[in-house]
Amino acid sequence: MGKKKIIQKSGSPEIKTATAVPSKPTVGSKNRIENGRIYVQASYNNTIITVTDDKGNVITWLSAGSLGFSGPKKSTPFAAGKVAEAIFEKIAKSGPFNVEIFVRGVGSGRDASVRSFLSKGLNIKSIRDTTPIPHNGPRPRKVRRV
């Protein structure tokens, strides 16, 4: 079994000094995002909401179709409000809390999604409409000859 180790105690007790150990950050504070952008794309067929940070990295996204709405129900204001509520539930802990909203498209879910974000208490810095507008449009058809 081997020899037993004998520990000799000295007469003077050793004084241990306490050193300050840096505390570990909480799990939520590491991934906490303060500023971000919310992109709302509202078409005639669907409403898609994407949340990004300041640099444009996607945090999360949702659409009315992914929540279970199908057919013409996807483009309703009710579906857009539900998508905005579900997005807020996803970002409630980690952020972003100060957001800029970019709205694109002509669908009926534009206003409903922005209103639901307002009611949830996000700090909205700005709301911008980025719907593309044609400057001159396509070339007109040639004149019909009869």
Per-residue pLDDT reduced to its tens digit, 104-135: 999 899 999 999 999 998 899 999 999 998 88
Residue length, the chain? 146
For 29, the enclosing helix (H) or strand (E) is helix 27-30
Residue with tokens 């810095």: 125
Question: pLDDT-derived band of residue 138, with 50, 70 and 90 as boundaries?
Answer: confident
| Domains annotated on the chain, with CATH | 33-129 (3.30.420.80)
Q: What is the pLDDT of residues 81-97, one digit of tens each?
A: 999 999 999 999 888 88
